[in-house]
Structure 1
Amino acid sequence: MLAVTAHHHVPPGPVAVLANPTAGRGRHRGLLPRLLERLDAGGRPLRLLTAGTPAEAEAACHAAVADGAGALVAVGGDGTVHRALQAVAGTAVPFGPVPAGTGNDFAADTGFPADPLAAVDVIAAALRDGRTRPVDLARMSAPDGGHRWYGAVLAAGFDAIVNERANRMRWPRGPRRYDLAILVELARLRPRRYTLRLDGEELNLDAVLVAVGNCASYGGGMRICPDADPTDGLLDVVVGGRFDRRTLMRVKPRIYQGTHVDHPLVRSYRARTVELAAEGITTYADGERALDLPVRISAVPQAVRLLR
């Protein structure tokens, strides 16, 4: 799938490293010294970025790129990758994701090993050889001019609503909060009216699931847009129509294999530009809270160069 020609150029400058110590509930926290040691084999000075919050992490990445970083490496999950992508998208600064989070969908779908140490070895070798491979990103923009980049999938249906509910809940802590949010939103499940414009062609539909994928997976290996290819210059749109509670719960496990797209209530589309509108929905991109609908999403070919 990712048989894209390699480019031989990594700009001069130190390698900026963003590490999220809380990624994956902290299970790789003790790994950072070993990761940095192996990254050192890339032959570039390393600069560890410090940040206490996701917003600070994003600002630190922007500052590092502005200060002339030769590359950016993110150690964490899709949330950490999402923050880093805002700074490197559309620039010549190459990027390496080290999968150390709960969900590592962007790294997996763009061909990096699942093991953080193995991924760092791939990145170090690419730095040493000056090798990068371009992949597409998606760029979303709001009517007020705000915009975000994302690498994996934008959720704009039931999953986004559940995320929004879980983020508002103060109790319980940890993953059980998400399970409870699912139960609450399942009880309130109803199809919503969406307006979709795919390369200018308008569709009006009732749906409970809407996902726009640059890559195939979200949520830690759920292949919601199973045919999405981050090198084809297109976005994959998967729409789950008028599901009732029971049908949705029966179909949801099939998303891990990507076989949900065979269900008669599921429709798949492909477009360069997707305009999406619905009442009262906040989207989630790469698992991170993003923009309220309506949004316009464009596939941006070769928007980021990966160190692999």
Structure 2
Amino acid sequence: MIAFIVNPTAGNGKAYKMIPKIEKLMKERNVDYKVFITKYPGHGTKLAEEASKSNFDIIVAVGGDGTVHEVINGINNTDVALGIIPLGTGNDFARYFRIPKNVDKALEILLKGKIKLIDSAVVNKYITCNNIANIGLDADVAAEITKSKKFVGGIFAYTLGLINVLIKYKPYSIKIDIDGKKIKRKIMLAAFGNCSFYGGGFKILPDANPDDGYIDVIIVNEINKLKLLFLLPMAIFGKHTVLKCVEMYKAEKIQISTEKEVAMCVDGEVLLSNNIVLHVKRNSVKICTD
């Protein structure tokens, strides 16, 4: 059986509008299914957790990265597979696995039954991150995007948010322990993840591999704000790693401390902390992919 967890606000309502099509396609293929609709933030996690205890083999996140994040956190430590129909604003996690936005094609991937085991990152022992967690300028941008994504999406929404945040942003100092290697930096941004994309298509971690047993790390040290704007087009294609201001690492455990509480964006969801610990959890999620 397949459970579809639909975020009715994802993609400016597009996910909700696709329910009749999903139901039609499932009936045509004589596959048992049930549709669940989220009613509030975090509801997707609760619905996924309840569905994982029933007879469902696959639980599908119908929405964007936030919906995927909630579903993954609801199927932790189970044998249920994650499916995705990417109908949100950014769809960065689905982009890495080349899951199409077309509902028919995305459903075909689910029904083929091809499953891949991937790693996840656990943040502060209780949040599962399967794409990217980030701090600094881009975490502030994520909060800004929530104001504009009803009208625009993808890289354009990220760029618009960046311009608004960049004007007032001040780099801050952080201490990072990367598998025992202790460093102190004044950063523009730092990102930690299992996959490559964020911000609606920026390939911020081009070497990330979700089944290699490591979390990829990028640190962009303090630079002139104008220079940062030149870095962004390079980041779309993952070519920014050659710049002197950029440091790259791979690690199993990362500890971050800051002088004051800062925003960390975890798969698009924002949390506040001044002490953050991430560790890799190997082979923790089954995903339906082509």
Please indicate, yes or no, whether the TM-score normalized by the shorter chain is above 0.5: yes
What percentage of aligned pairs have identical amino acids? 26
Q: Among 282, 285, 297, which residue is 2:266 paired with?
A: 285
Secondary structure (helix, strand or coil) at the match of 1:156 reads strand
Q: CA deviation at 1:41?
A: 6.5
CA distance in structure 1 between the partners assigned to 2:109 and 2:26 by the alignment: 9
Contact 2:7 2:15 in 1 (8 A): no
Shift of the 19–247 alpha-carbon distance from structure 1 to 2, 3 Å rule, reads: same
Letter matched to residue 18 of structure 2 = L
**Equivalent residue number for residue 296 of structure 1:** 277
Aligned to 1:231: 211
Residues 306 and 300 of structure 1: is their aligned pair in 2 closer, same or farther, counting only changes over 3 Å? same
1:110–1:230 contact (8 Å) kept in structure 2: no
Aligned match of 2:129: 150
Partner of 1:110: 97
Distance 2:263 2:123 in 1: 13
Give the TM-score taking structure 1 as reference length.
0.84
**1:294 aligns to what SS in structure 2?**
strand
Separation (CA, whole Å) in 1 of partners of 2:205 and 2:149: 31
Aligned length: 285
* 2:229 counterpart SS class: helix
> Do 2:123 and 2:279's aligned partners in 1 also have CA atoms closer than 8 Å?
yes
Distance 1:132 1:165 in 2: 35
Stretches of structure 2 lacking an aligned partner (at least 5 in a row): none
Question: Which amino acid is the alignment partner of residue 265 of structure 2?
Answer: Y
Distance 1:222-1:118 versus aligned 2 partners, 3 A rule: same
Q: Give the TM-score normalised by the residue count of structure 2.
A: 0.89
2:220 alignment partner in structure 1? 240
Match of 2:171 among 180, 191, 202: 191
Distance in 2 between residues matched to 1:228 and 1:61, nearest whole Å = 27
Write the distance in 1 (CA, Å) between the matches of 2:79 and 2:16: 30
Structure 2: distance between partners of 1:39 and 1:221: 30
| C-alpha distance in 2 between matches for 1:173 and 1:109 | 24
Does 2:178 align with 1:201? Answer: no
Q: 1:139 aligns with which of 105, 118, 122?
A: 122
Does the C-alpha gap of structure 1 residues 291 and 63 become closer, same or farther in structure 2, counting only changes over 3 Å?
Answer: farther
Q: 1:50 aligns with which of 37, 50, 55?
A: 37
For the 8 Å contact 1:189–1:245, the answer to whether it is kept is no
SS class of match (1:280): strand
Displacement of 1:79:
0.8
CA contact (8 A) 1:123 1:307 kept: yes
Question: Contact 2:131 / 2:195 at 8 angstroms: preserved in 1?
Answer: yes
Tell me the distance in 2 between the aligned counterparts of 1:104 and 1:51.
Answer: 18
Maintained 8 Å contact 1:139/1:297: yes
5 Å-filtered alignment, 1:244-259, equals: 244-259=224-239
Instruction: Give SS of 2:202's match.
Output: coil
Which has the larger strand fraction?
2
The amino acid of 1:104's aligned partner reads N
Query: How many Å apart are 1:51 and its aligned residue?
Result: 1.9
Determine which of 237, 249, 255 is the counterpart of 1:275.
255
Distance 1:91 1:119 in 2: 23
* Displacement after TM superposition at 1:299 (Å): 1.4
- Deviation per CA, 1:88-144: give whole Å up to 9, x if none: 233211111111111111112134234332111110121xxxx42111111111xxx
Structure 1 gap segments, 5+ residues each: 1-13
Higher mean C-alpha displacement, 288-297 vs 198-207: 288-297
Identify which range, 25-34 or 70-79, moves more after superposition.
Answer: 25-34
Contact kept? 1:39, 1:121, Cα under 8 Å: no
